[in-house]
Amino acid sequence: MIQLVPVRRYPLALTLFSTLLLVLTGCSEPAEEMKGGMPAVTVIKIEPQDTAVTSEFVGKTASSRRVEIRSRVEGFLDKREYTEGSMVEVGQVLFEMDKKPFEAQLKANLAELEQQEARKQTALTNLNRVRPLAKKNAVAQKELDDAQGLFREAAAAVEQARAGVVQAELDLGYCTITTPVSGLSSFAVLREGAYVGRTDSLLTYVAQLDPMWIEFSISENQLLKHSDNVKQGIIRDPPDQDFDIEVILADGSIYPQTGKITFSDASLSEATGTFLIRAEVANPKGRLRPGQFVRALIKGAVRVNAILVPQEAVQQGAQGSFVWVIKDGKADFRPVTVGPWHGKEWFIDEGLQAGDVVAVTGVLKLRAGVPVKITDANAKSPPAAGAVDRSDSSGDTE
């Protein structure tokens, strides 16, 4: 006897059949893809080598000798003899004070000196008259003592008057105010006719431009990490810490003169947590001016047996950085510890060794154990000229 199947069960059977068909079709797609061809990658072979590293810091230019031009005497400012903002030379006259009061004072002191010298001469004449009489007991001993005392007082008065003359001559000379250094002059703080007193004696500034200082700061963490890298042999400093300083201007151009570090602060700044570093660079044409913001590149350190890979070869995963190492024609997942940048490459601190073959391009298609096709096995090209190692973020260089 034939049993009829209710029509309402057909949709369920069709659904199960469609699902099975989709699963089988989906499972066959990777196989068809693998059958069509292996992922193509370009690779580099790891060859450790000593590599020069450059650390970059933001710096500011400062005059190597910034002098305050002040008046040494009180009085009225008579003239300004220089053009504000111009270059001035050593000994050039910048200001003139009103000399008339000082000339009058010098004359008065000269007259006082002449008067005291006359008194001294009178006292000496009297002493010469009394001394032989005292030897003959013709006068009392007291008269001789008084004559000697008057002569000494007169002699002291002469010296005091002479000192007054010297001081008056100095004050008169101070009325002509010159610059002790060659450099760039600033604006005049006081104008002609202003009274110059003890509390407002500042007239202007002169900033020496050659040489110029480059000042920047290094954090405590950067300095400690660099010292630790040196102890471990990862970094090798130049002999006698003789680093070269290259200056990059605001427009990106390289300043033609290189400098040397001349000062490093012995104490840590409590306000910023950094150490002040100062470099000195020649500035014969005055291209650098005080207050400019520049980039200071510290050169001279070497990373020993450094391993470098292009930045595009390093991927980021849930557990950190990794690369794909090609081994026996298949992709092998390799976690790595990256160091600072070096141009367009990464320093690799851990995870790779000499002879490893690392995939550079085509890495997004790779999976662990997947066979690959190497399309370019050339060694990596050297970093571009002027490439900068971002070691300032990791403290690889002092």
Quote the mean pLDDT of the chain: 86
Residue 380 has pLDDT above 50, yes or no: no
The CATH number of 54-63+210-301 is 2.40.30.170
- Tens of pLDDT, residues 19-39: 444 334 444 344 433 444 789
Can you give the pLDDT at residue 318?
Answer: 87
pLDDT for the residue 101? 96
CATH code for the domain defined by 72-206: 2.40.50.100
Beta bridge partners of 261: 279
Of residues 36 and 366, more confidently modeled: 366
User: Rounded to 5 degrees, what angle do the CA atoms 350, 351, 355 make?
Assistant: 115
- Region 45-64 average pLDDT: 94
pTM of the model: 0.71
CATH topology of 36-51+306-393 equal to that of 54-63+210-301?
Answer: no
What phi, psi does 151 have (nearest 5°)? -65, -45
The pLDDT tens digits for 193-237 are 999 998 999 999 999 999 999 999 999 899 999 999 999 999 999
For residue range 287-306, what is the model confidence (pLDDT) as tens digits?
A: 999 999 999 999 999 999 99
Q: What is the pLDDT of residue 385?
A: 34
pLDDT in tens, 64-94: 999 999 999 999 999 999 999 999 999 999 9
pLDDT of residue 30: 42
By CB atoms closer than 10 A (0-12, 13-18, 19+), residue 53 is: buried
Mean pLDDT of 323-350: 91
| Predicted local distance difference test score (pLDDT) of residue 295 | 96
CATH number assigned to the domain with residue range 36-51+306-393, chosen from the 4 options 3.40.50.720, 1.10.240.10, 3.20.20.120, 2.40.420.20? 2.40.420.20
For the beta carbon of residue 245, count every other beta carbon within 10 angstroms. Answer: 25
Query: Taking the domains of the chain in order of start, what are their residue ranges?
Result: 36-51+306-393, 54-63+210-301, 72-206
Q: What is the pLDDT of residue 376?
A: 63
List, as own/partner pairs, every contact residues 87-92 make where C-beta atoms lie below 8 angstroms and the sequence separation is at least 24, other chains included: 87/182, 87/183, 87/184, 87/185, 87/286, 88/179, 88/182, 88/183, 88/184, 88/185, 88/206, 89/179, 89/182, 90/179, 90/180, 90/181, 90/182, 91/178, 91/179, 92/178, 92/179
**pLDDT attached to residue 340:** 87
pLDDT at position 377: 52
For 128-170, the pLDDT digits (tens) are: 999 898 888 888 888 888 899 999 999 999 999 999 999 999 9
Instruction: Determine the pLDDT at residue 245.
Output: 96
